[in-house]
Amino acid sequence: MKIIEQMYVDGAFVAPHGDERFALFNPATEEKIGEVRLGDAQDARAAIAAAKRAFPAMRRTTPAERIAMLHALRQAVAASADTLRAAMATEYGAPQSFLAFSVPHAANVFDVAAKTVADYAFTRRVGNAEVVMEPVGVAAAITPWNSNIGFICTKLATAIAAGTTIVIKPSEMSAIQTQILLEALHEAGLPDGVLNVVNGYGHLVGAELSRHPDIAKVTFTGSTTTGREILRSAAESFKRVTLELGGKGPQILLDDADLDRAIPHILASAFRNSGQACIAGTRLLVSRQSHAEVMSRLAQAVSALRTGPSSDPASDIGPMVSARHWERVQSYIRLGQEEGATLLVGGEGRPDGLDRGWFVRPTVFSNVANDMRIAREEVFGPVLSVLSYDTEAEAIAIANDSEYGLQSYVLGTDAERMRGVARRLETGRVVINEAPAGTQAPFGGFKHSGIGREFGSFGLDAFLEPKAIIG
């Protein structure tokens, strides 16, 4: 049983003022594995005050000094890879494929930020003006449970790159992972107050960060509903905001696609991280003429997926994060049937042979219409909706007919044609044939999937204010 009693403020692990305890579970066994003591609004204010005190010195640092900090952070996270991996497996139940990506990713984001700083023009000439890119002020970050470590590291790396200080409120459901990460980050020896982390509920700690006048910038990753609330409170003091929100990613399977290659890509995108991924491609668009063949191959491939605990390296799909989230995914599987979609494979309840753990049967619905809720709402589980199209133009129209616009996928063989389709899609990223994710390319959403971009120079821009000195 892991008991976490402290928050991290002003360079030290200290007891919070709040004293409510939050239980932590292993989602594969439903066993309680720990408890975290949650901070409250007073703790958030103490962390903001520490970040504010540290800001003047941080803003005076040179790019070279910040690159050195980023390298130290990278080393510290890389050195803890094994313990981080174990914590993510136990507390979150992520399949090995996701762990293999996400732990190295958490370390690499510091390298990417260091490279971005090295290449970035903090001072530029524009006409007769000298434009200086200055840190925006104290930042606050709020992260979701589905990629807690990755987003803590991305947001911290960008704050350091910009020369600012930060207060982070991680997901309360990921406190064991946060604690192990923090112990690693502490080893990097950042100046006191540059990094502050307060565990707590969103409506208390998160809300205080979103409204406090000493926070200049909020960077949030989470649901669209919470993002809207944060945007409202941030408006009062004109905070700069970066919002990375939900998605309902379309996958357009063009009629020239090689199905032997495309089907594994479709499954990887749809069921990535057990379907608990904002970028999951959960709406598959298939041409009517290849519908029958694609459905038969999909049914076969999905039935062959293995659902199980993280400890089994053969597991393709892990458990849902909580009992509540399991219920929510079940309710969408029921809803799909009530709405008249055809249940191709999967369905309600646990997969055969698993009588414990918040496991869901990987599910595919065919004959889905784009006005059904299972085509419009984010399920956040291994549930794929298949829609049919007659023409490429119709496929693009269906793909774009969504409130979301985070990441889409195009699968085919003709590179020019796929680029043509990609140019017409309204999403922050378009992935062609499951190309590897770029680490410097901007990441973020159109429409209700968010505001602003993270990663690389676009992510850094969002932590800076341009100041023009004229004459």
CA distance 147 to 436: 18
Among the residue ranges 2-10, 38-46, 129-137, 203-211, the one whose residues contact ligand NAD (CB under 6 A): 203-211
* Whether residue 278 lies in the annotated active site: yes
CB closer to ligand NAD out of 53 and 328: 328
User: How do 429-432 and 407-411 pair as beta strands?
Assistant: parallel
Strand partners of residue 167:
140, 196
Report whether 232 contacts 270 (CB < 8 A): no
Distance of CA 353 to the CA centre of its chain: 31
CB closer to ligand NAD out of 133 and 431: 431
The correct pick among 8, 25, 92, 145 for binding ligand NAD (CB under 6 A) is 145
CB closer to ligand NAD out of 290 and 400: 400
Among the residue ranges 51-59, 190-198, 242-250, 408-416, the one whose residues contact ligand NAD (CB under 6 A): 242-250
The correct pick among 91, 316, 378, 426 for binding ligand NAD (CB under 6 A) is 378
Among the residue ranges 23-31, 206-214, 368-376, 462-470, the one whose residues contact ligand NAD (CB under 6 A): 206-214
249 binds ligand NAD (CB under 6 A): no
Structure tokens at 82: 């094994």
CB closer to ligand NAD out of 150 and 412: 150
402 binds ligand NAD (CB under 6 A): no
* Whether residue 244 lies in the annotated active site: yes
CA distance 352 to 348: 11
184 binds ligand NAD (CB under 6 A): no
Question: Minimum CB separation from ligand NAD for residue 174, in Å?
Answer: 9
The correct pick among 18, 34, 163, 222 for binding ligand NAD (CB under 6 A) is 222
CA dihedral for 206, 207, 211, 214, sign (positive or negative): negative
Q: Which of 91, 278, 378, 426 is catalytic?
A: 278
- Residue list 272-291, contact with ligand NAD (CB under 6 A): 278
Question: Minimum CB separation from ligand NAD for residue 294, in Å?
Answer: 26
CA dihedral for 92, 98, 99, 102, sign (positive or negative): negative
358 binds ligand NAD (CB under 6 A): no
CA distance 72 to 61: 15
167 binds ligand NAD (CB under 6 A): no
CA distance 34 to 365: 37
The correct pick among 9, 142, 159, 197 for binding ligand NAD (CB under 6 A) is 142
149 binds ligand NAD (CB under 6 A): no
- Residue list 298-357, contact with ligand NAD (CB under 6 A): none
CB closer to ligand NAD out of 113 and 295: 113
Structure tokens at 234: 């941030």
223 binds ligand NAD (CB under 6 A): yes
146 binds ligand NAD (CB under 6 A): yes
206 binds ligand NAD (CB under 6 A): yes
CB closer to ligand NAD out of 351 and 452: 452
Question: Minimum CB separation from ligand NAD for residue 119, in Å?
Answer: 24
The correct pick among 199, 210, 219, 307 for binding ligand NAD (CB under 6 A) is 210
CA distance 46 to 40: 10
Q: Which of 91, 172, 208, 244 is catalytic?
A: 244
171 binds ligand NAD (CB under 6 A): yes
230 binds ligand NAD (CB under 6 A): yes
Structure tokens at 175: 């406190």
Among the residue ranges 106-114, 116-124, 239-247, 312-320, the one whose residues contact ligand NAD (CB under 6 A): 239-247
Task: Mention every residue, 6+ apart, whose C-beta is less than 8 A from residue 292.
Answer: none
Catalytic positions are 244, 278
Name the residues that contact ligand NAD, by CB under 6 A: 142-147, 169, 171-172, 201-203, 206-207, 210, 221-223, 226, 229-230, 244-247, 278, 378, 380, 406, 445, 450
